[in-house]
Amino acid sequence: MIKIITIEREYGCGCSEIARLLANRLGWTLYDQLLTEEIAKLANCSRAVVEGREERTDPLYYRLFKSFLRGSFEGSINAPKLNLVDSESIVRITRRVVEHAADRGDCVIVGRGSQHFLRDRTDILRFFLYAPPDDKVRRLLARGKSEREAEDLVETVDRERADFIQKYFNVEWPDRAIYHAMINTTIGDEATVQIILNFMETYATKATA
């Protein structure tokens, strides 16, 4: 029986709303912003700090700064203990939160590498949502972004996600073979949700045949 759905997505394709609609239709827990909040609690930092680090690799200046701290301070007996909330820390904590959510079941988990953390489970369906650039920009404009900002976000956020997946899971993004289905969200949010629900029903029928 399927108890978990993970949804990876291109930035701006409407995943947050689609995942919310899906979780509501199923009566399941949605781990999107809730996931970020849980990670922040375990990392003992603000939600804003986690949002700045999750699904990203550390920038060069941060990696150099971290190396400097470790080399200069952490080896010193008199050095203060420094809590570095870097991408590697976030990934470790994210895995714990995602696996805990999966163990509880009846949940929709958005991104954060969840499709890879849970790839060996049999009670899961993994989806990838995408859309053409123009449609993603249109959605972002409706959310109040300027056209220039929207175009820049569409280009840069997915590149950061690709770098993140490559570094921590050593696969190309999107890793098509891992997903049960990839859906173009230009058909609309409700239609996308219905496709996922139909897929679940078909999958369950096949599994019990």
Residues 117/81, Cβ–Cβ less than 8 Å: no
Q: Residue 130, SS3?
A: strand
pLDDT of residue 158: 92
Cα within 13 Å of Cα(52), Cβ side? 9
- As a whole number of angstroms, the distance between CA 88 and CA 97 comes to 14
| Cα separation values, 127 from 9, 12, 41, 64, 151, Å | 8, 16, 28, 36, 24
User: Cα(127)–Cα(9) distance, rounded to whole angstroms?
Assistant: 8
Give the rounded percent of residues in the chain with a pLDDT score beyond 70. 84
Compute the average pLDDT of residues 86-113: 91
Structure confidence at residue 74 (pLDDT): 41
Decide if pLDDT at 82 tops 70.
no
Specify the higher pLDDT residue, 175 or 91.
175
DSSP 3-state of 195: helix
Check residue 134 and give its pLDDT.
96
All structural domains of the chain, each given as residue ranges with its CATH number in brackets, are: 4-208 (3.40.50.300)
Token output for 173: 């993004």
pLDDT at residue 174 above 90? yes
Radius of gyration in angstroms for the set of CA atoms belonging to the chain, rounded to a whole number: 19
Cβ-based burial of 79 (10 A; exposed 0-12, middle 13-18, buried ≥19): exposed
The confidence score (pLDDT) of residue 55 equals 67
* Residues 13, 128: Cα–Cα separation, whole Å: 10
Distance (Å, whole) CA 17 – CA 1: 25
Q: Is the pLDDT of residue 162 over 70?
A: yes
Per the listing, tokens 């909330």 go with: 85
Q: What is the DSSP string of 158-171?
A: HHHHHHHHHHHH-S
State the pLDDT confidence band at 49, using cuts at 50, 70 and 90. Answer: confident
Cβ–Cβ < 8 Å for 73, 83: no
Q: Is the pLDDT of residue 78 over 50?
A: no
Please give the Cα distance from 28 to 76 (Å, whole number).
49
Which is more confidently placed, 165 or 69?
Answer: 165
Mean pLDDT in residue range 148-175: 92
| Predicted structure pTM score | 0.84
Confidence of residue 58 (pLDDT cuts 50, 70, 90): low
Structure confidence by residue, pLDDT tens digits, 6-39? 999 999 999 999 999 999 999 999 999 898 899 8
Q: Is the confidence at residue 64, as pLDDT, over 90?
A: no
Say how far apart CA 24 and CA 30 lie, in whole Å. 8
Among residues of the chain, what percentage have pLDDT more than 90? 62
Instruction: Tell me the pLDDT of the chain averaged across its residues.
Output: 85
